[in-house]
Amino acid sequence: MEKNLLYSIQSPSDLRELKVEELRQVCAELRDFILKSNAENPGHLGANLGVVELTVALHYVYNTPFDRLIWDVGHQAYGHKILTGRRDEFHTNRKFKGLCGFPSREESIYDAFGVGHSSTSISAGLGMSVGTSLSGEDRKVVAVIGDGSMTGGMAFEGLNNAAITKSDILVVLNDNQMAIDPNVGGVSQYLVNMSTSTAYNKLRNDVWNLLGSMNSFGPKARKIVHQTQMGLKSMLLRSSNLFEGLNFRYFGPIDGHDTENMVRIMEDLKRIKGPKLLHVITKKGKGFKPAEDDQTKWHAAPGRFDTETGLVIKTTTNKEEKSPIKYQDVFGETIVELSMKNENIVGITPAMPTGCSMNKMMREFPERSFDVGIAEQHAVTFSAGLACEGKMPFCNIYSSFMQRAYDQVIHDVALQKLDVTFFLDRGGLVGADGATHHGVFDLAFLRIIPNMTIAAPMDEWELRDMMYTYQDFGYGPVSIRYPRGKGVRVDWKNEMHKVAPGVGRMLRQGEKIAVLSLGHPGNFVSEALDQIEISSGYQFTHYDMRYVKPLDVNIIQQIASGNYDYVVTVEDGVIQGGFGSAVLEELSLFSYKGGVIRLGVPDHFVEHGTQDDLYRVCEFDVDGIKNKLEELISKL
Ligand SMILES: Cc1ncc(C[n+]2csc(CCOP(=O)(O)OP(=O)(O)O)c2C)c(N)n1
Ligand SMILES: CC(=O)[C@@H](O)[C@H](O)COP(=O)(O)O
Ligand SMILES: [Mg+2]
């Protein structure tokens, strides 16, 4: 019985003890481990299966953690974590109080940089490389970036700067021609041309072999061969190499599943000074046919699954019984419904067509929907340009990714009062993706921008009514945010009607305590008030405020003069500067003398877990709201 090598590896130094011929077995065992652990505890499967060989080669060649290894986005770092001492706790990946789903400096010394949002690895790596050389240390720095993340502008900011610093950084471009959906844009096409040019590839193989055979001929000869290769490569590719043009020595493309060859080439590259880029070709989902065949579906495993058949195991929550659909699908269905009548509507998404369900619009109206790549800043200003030409952009950006485009919202949209309607999906605590992906800041960072309308629907009907309303011109910039996951209505497809900006709605009349909620957590409030009425007979007032901006000051005025002992606000966002702060500010203008309690996300980053775990720890789940109200009842 063959000894399991993976279980003999407690750290990369154990890996480096092995013979290079044994790495093939390590890769097979690692791939099997990743597949089986994801079958039980679903995570980002496809990307991780695709970098098994690359991960092993990198930890084999580079002296991690002394040499720095940075993963871009970091969703593909499961193998890295398993090889760096976290194999035995990997079953806790993305679970509450378990391992983070992305590299995290506080989790391990092997996690050189915390990631989650894309396109940061080159900048961080360059910083480490420059920092290292300033300290006079001979430390190697490697940044692994995917072809999708390479469409993010920040990646080019890093490349641009590296060009003049002559830093000894290696950028490994993991090219699988996929983002979550198929990768898009000129960079992607360039990479495809690069890796599919037959003439170039024949030359490359011949020259690599020659280069390899000249190991003993000393650096001068090797430099001549390399320059020859570069000249021929530029000629064959009919365009100078993009990366060479940026002063990066370009190597590749090579097979990102050939571990031994990668080891050999990486050993070579360690001896070459200056910025280098190694272009590796991999297959997303490698080794698991369902994930190879449907790479978007298996970017993240859709649930627990059978490793033989790929069949997703039905759980009680996702059985066929009629249940509400996801907010994102309400968006996707409704933008299509509206676009059939309103030809001004155009849809924009920065590389999340499936994630935000813009793919429905892309299928129905391909000429009016745009996946612009992982480029949130561009998405916003591109939308602004579309608005200038009389289009009605519905720009859908995950709340946490919108953080990337803050200036564009201010400078390019709000200042010019352009009619752009933003849909901030994943608004609030998202769950397993954790602190990097919780969309908890948007209410606070957007409400201070003049000319903005900021809305949060409490359910699917509200979302559709807001979409129906803000498809029209004249409202200026509007942000409509909703959470990851399902709404509350099985019968989600209402007859839509217009809503008035800045007008909230009373859901329940009571006394002594007024609860003001914003968005989806209003449903938790309704449930908590029902339970309170049954348990204590108290009837409190509940308003769904619908908007952070403009706030419904008529409601605030009624409350301020309505003899309430307490006002409680509830939001799925940071309390500091969010909806609750807006209410507090407004109440103070009406000299309200009662107590104000703000429930929401406290002033610290929230870790990963299920959404229910996190609502609970932030104390704005049903029980948290109920407990707070019962505490107040004791003071009435
Ligand atoms: C700023 C930002 N925008 C969007 C995302 C969502 N996202 C996560 S992975 C991914 C695709 C990454 O593609 P690539 O870099 O090629 O990695 P692969 O999954 O192909 O290995 C996207 C768009 C993100 N993490 N960060
Ligand atoms: C790694 C990454 O950023 C995306 O894959 C993200 O995890 C998608 O989030 P959703 O699963 O909420 O679409
Ligand atoms: Mg990719």
Listed residue (125, 161, 119, 120) closest to 141, CA to CA: 125
Strands 547-549 and 566-574: unpaired
| Tokens read off for 98 | 């378990």
Query: Which ligand 2 atom is the nearest neighbour of the CA of 300?
Result: 5
- pTM score, whole prediction: 0.94
Output the CA 398–ligand 2 centroid distance in Å. 9
For residue 316, give the amino acid letter.
T
What is d(CA 387, CA 224) in angstroms, rounded to the nearest whole number? 53
User: Does ligand 1 have an atom closer than 6 angstroms to the CB of 180?
Assistant: yes
Locus of tokens 């240390």? 137
User: What's the rounded mean pLDDT across residues 6-20?
Assistant: 98
Q: How does pLDDT run across 30-56, given as a tens digit for each residue?
A: 999 999 999 999 999 999 999 999 999
For residue 294, being part of any structural domain is answered with no
Do 331 and 404 fall within a single domain? yes
Do 131 and 261 fall within a single domain? yes
Q: Tell which one of 55, 151, 374 to mutate to probe ligand 1, the residue whose CB is within 8 A of the most ligand atoms.
A: 374
DSSP string over 218-234: HHHHHHHHHHHHHHHHH
Output the CA 272–ligand 1 centroid distance in Å. 30
Res 235: pLDDT: 65
Output the CA 45–ligand 2 centroid distance in Å. 12
pLDDT at 238 over 80: no
Q: Which residues pair with 348 in a beta bridge?
A: 370, 395
Q: Torsions phi, psi of 516, nearest 5?
A: -110, 120
| Tokens read off for 626 | 């109920």
- Count of Cβ atoms closer than 10 Å to residue 575 Cβ: 22
Predicted complex ipTM exceeds 0.90: yes
Q: How does pLDDT run across 203-220, given as a tens digit for each residue?
A: 666 665 665 666 566 777
pLDDT at 319 over 60: no
Res 317: pLDDT: 56
What is d(CA 569, CA 583) in angstroms, rounded to the nearest whole number? 8
What is d(CA 30, CA 76) in angstroms, rounded to the nearest whole number? 13
Residue 421 near residue 396, CB atoms below 8 Å: no
Q: Torsions phi, psi of 267, nearest 5?
A: -60, -40
Question: How many structural domains does the chain have?
Answer: 3
pLDDT at 592 over 90: yes
User: Does ligand 1 have an atom closer than 6 angstroms to the CB of 371?
Assistant: no
Res 197: pLDDT: 67
Q: What is the chain's length?
A: 636
pLDDT at 413 over 90: yes
State the ligand closest to the CA atom of 281.
3
User: Does ligand 1 have an atom closer than 6 angstroms to the CB of 179?
Assistant: yes
Listed residue (240, 282, 278) closest to 258, CA to CA: 282
Gap between the terminal Cα atoms of the chain: 72
Residue 628 near residue 570, CB atoms below 8 Å: no
For residue 456, being part of any structural domain is answered with yes
Contacts of 55 (CB under 8 A, 6+ apart): 30, 77, 79, 80, 83
pLDDT at 233 over 70: no
Do 514 and 621 fall within a single domain? yes
Do 29 and 116 fall within a single domain? yes
Q: Specify the residue with its C-alpha closest to ligand 1, atom 11.
A: 179
For residue 425, being part of any structural domain is answered with yes
Output the CA 49–ligand 3 centroid distance in Å. 12
% residues pLDDT > 70 (the chain): 93
User: What's the rounded mean pLDDT across residues 268-297?
Assistant: 97
Q: CA quadruple 259, 143, 244, 270: dihedral positive or negative?
A: negative
At residue 486, the 3 state secondary structure works out as strand
Q: How does pLDDT run across 457-505, given as a tens digit for each residue?
A: 999 999 999 999 999 999 999 999 999 999 999 999 999 999 999 999 9
User: What's the rounded mean pLDDT across residues 438-453?
Assistant: 98
Res 337: pLDDT: 98
For residue 47, being part of any structural domain is answered with yes
User: Does ligand 1 have an atom closer than 6 angstroms to the CB of 357?
Assistant: no
CATH assignment at residue 558: 3.40.50.920
HSE-up (13 A, CA, CB side) for residue 304:
9
User: What's the rounded mean pLDDT across residues 256-275?
Assistant: 96
| Mean pLDDT, the chain, integer | 94
For residue 161, being part of any structural domain is answered with yes
Do 467 and 524 fall within a single domain? no
Do 334 and 389 fall within a single domain? yes
State the ligand closest to the CA atom of 146.
1
Res 220: pLDDT: 76
Query: Which ligand 2 atom is the nearest neighbour of the CA of 117?
Result: 3
User: Does ligand 1 have an atom closer than 6 angstroms to the CB of 386?
Assistant: no
Strands in 282-412 per DSSP E: 345-349, 369-371, 392-396
Q: How does pLDDT run across 300-314, given as a tens digit for each residue?
A: 999 999 999 999 998
pLDDT band at 545, cuts 50/70/90?
A: very high
- Count of Cβ atoms closer than 10 Å to residue 209 Cβ: 10
CATH assignment at residue 26: 3.40.50.970
In this structure, of 70-74, 114-118, 218-222, the range with the lowest mean pLDDT score is 218-222
User: Does ligand 2 have an atom closer than 6 angstroms to the CB of 430?
Assistant: yes
Res 207: pLDDT: 62
Do 461 and 527 fall within a single domain? no
User: Does ligand 2 have an atom closer than 6 angstroms to the CB of 432?
Assistant: no
Output the CA 333–ligand 1 centroid distance in Å. 24
For residue 216, being part of any structural domain is answered with no
Do 536 and 610 fall within a single domain? yes
Res 199: pLDDT: 60
**446, 481, 516 - which closes a domain:** 481
At residue 142, the 3 state secondary structure works out as strand
| Tokens read off for 218 | 């000393």
Known catalytic residues? 284, 376, 404
What is d(CA 480, CA 73) in angstroms, rounded to the nearest whole number? 26
Listed residue (301, 306, 364, 308) closest to 332, CA to CA: 364
Q: Specify the residue with its C-alpha closest to ligand 2, atom 7.
A: 433
In the 8-state DSSP scheme, what is residue 497?
-
Res 208: pLDDT: 59
What is d(CA 137, CA 120) in angstroms, rounded to the nearest whole number? 23
What is d(CA 59, CA 284) in angstroms, rounded to the nearest whole number? 20
- Residue 118 domain boundaries: 6-174+246-289
Do 261 and 339 fall within a single domain? no
What is d(CA 118, CA 114) in angstroms, rounded to the nearest whole number? 11
For residue 341, give the amino acid letter.
K
Q: Specify the residue with its C-alpha closest to ligand 1, atom 19.
A: 47
User: What separation in angstroms does the CA of 574 have from each of 547, 582, 609?
Assistant: 15, 12, 18
Output the CA 149–ligand 1 centroid distance in Å. 6
For residue 208, being part of any structural domain is answered with no
Bond preceding residue 550 cis, omega within 30 of 0: yes
For residue 558, being part of any structural domain is answered with yes
pLDDT at 320 over 60: no
Strands in 521-575 per DSSP E: 541-544, 547-549, 566-574
Q: Specify the residue with its C-alpha closest to ligand 1, atom 26.
A: 117
User: Does ligand 1 have an atom closer than 6 angstroms to the CB of 175?
Assistant: no
**433, 449, 481 - which closes a domain:** 481
- Count of Cβ atoms closer than 10 Å to residue 282 Cβ: 24
User: Does ligand 2 have an atom closer than 6 angstroms to the CB of 456?
Assistant: no
Residue 291 near residue 35, CB atoms below 8 Å: no
Ion ligand 3 — residues with CB < 5 Å = 146-148, 176, 178
Strands in 551-634 per DSSP E: 566-574, 595-601
Do 398 and 520 fall within a single domain? no
Query: Which ligand 1 atom is the nearest neighbour of the CA of 401?
Result: 1
In the 8-state DSSP scheme, what is residue 623?
H
pLDDT at 278 over 80: yes
- How would you list the strands of the sheet with 541-544, edge to edge? 505-508, 541-544, 513-517, 566-574, 595-601
What is d(CA 158, CA 277) in angstroms, rounded to the nearest whole number? 13
Q: Tell which one of 298, 433, 482 to mutate to probe ligand 2, the residue whose CB is within 8 A of the most ligand atoms.
A: 433
pLDDT at 71 over 60: yes
Listed residue (547, 559, 625, 549) closest to 592, CA to CA: 559
Do 97 and 134 fall within a single domain? yes
Output the CA 143–ligand 1 centroid distance in Å. 15
Choice between 502 and 225, residue whose per-residue pLDDT is larger: 502
Res 9: pLDDT: 98
Q: Specify the residue with its C-alpha closest to ligand 2, atom 6.
A: 433
Q: Tell which one of 93, 117, 180 to mutate to probe ligand 2, the residue whose CB is within 8 A of the most ligand atoms.
A: 180
Do 31 and 86 fall within a single domain? yes
Output the CA 214–ligand 1 centroid distance in Å. 39
Res 508: pLDDT: 98
